[in-house]
Amino acid sequence: MVRMILTLTIICLVAATALSFVYQNTVPRIEEEKSNKLFSHLKVVFPSADDFVPIVEDTLWEARDDCGHKLGFVALVAPRGYAGPIETLVGFNLEGTIVGLRTATPSEGLKETPGLGVKVNDDWFQKQFIGKGVDGLLLKADGGSLDAITAATISSRAVVNGVRLGLERFSQYWQHEDRDTLAPEPDSLKGK
């Protein structure tokens, strides 16, 4: 009995040591990969930026040029679509005009209807947001100028309303008088 307990204890210690070793060696690589992926997604919605500094954790980033001047912001919104939240990154300049938009893909958790709601990822749908401000964010059916996706009005409206609410929520940041105030550097994503 004692021998069996001793054997099980040794096996548990070896397994725990091996798991700890694997964890310690993979976590930095996983974190670096996540940071690189985030940087590439932020760069898609704000292509002229060279650096992104978190303002609100996992929700709002300040976009900067290579000299550290504030260009605008990127916000993450997750409006409720037909089948679940539609994570959307939206980049906007200091005047509150949209410069880029990117919705999550099905492999990133988008649960909208295949062939219909997932068309929120189509270029034609996303490009129609560029150059718009809060006031221009309405579907044609609601009196605006944005086209909805045929047979996916719920998904279309969710993205439009999410982007509009995100811009309204974060308007305080681009309307601030001191536009070149720099946030702390340590959490910057520069050079990823």
pLDDT computed for residue 184 by the predictor: 43
Query: By the 8 A CB rule, do 128 and 82 touch?
Result: no
Show the CA angle centred on residue 106, arms to residues 191 and 81, nearest 5°: 105
Query: Distance between CA 7 and CA 1 in Å, rounded?
Result: 10
Out of 30-34, 157-161, 164-168, 170-174, give the one with best mean pLDDT. 157-161
Q: What is the pLDDT of residues 70-109, one digit of tens each?
A: 999 999 999 999 988 999 999 999 988 999 999 988 878 7
134 Cβ contact partners less than 8 Å away, ≥ 6 residues apart: 96, 164, 167, 168, 171
Q: What is the pLDDT of residues 2-35, one digit of tens each?
A: 889 999 999 999 999 989 888 888 888 878 888 8
Q: What is the pLDDT of residues 123-134, one digit of tens each?
A: 999 999 999 988
Asked if pLDDT for residue 174 goes beyond 80, the answer is no
Show the CA angle centred on residue 97, arms to residues 107 and 181, nearest 5°: 95
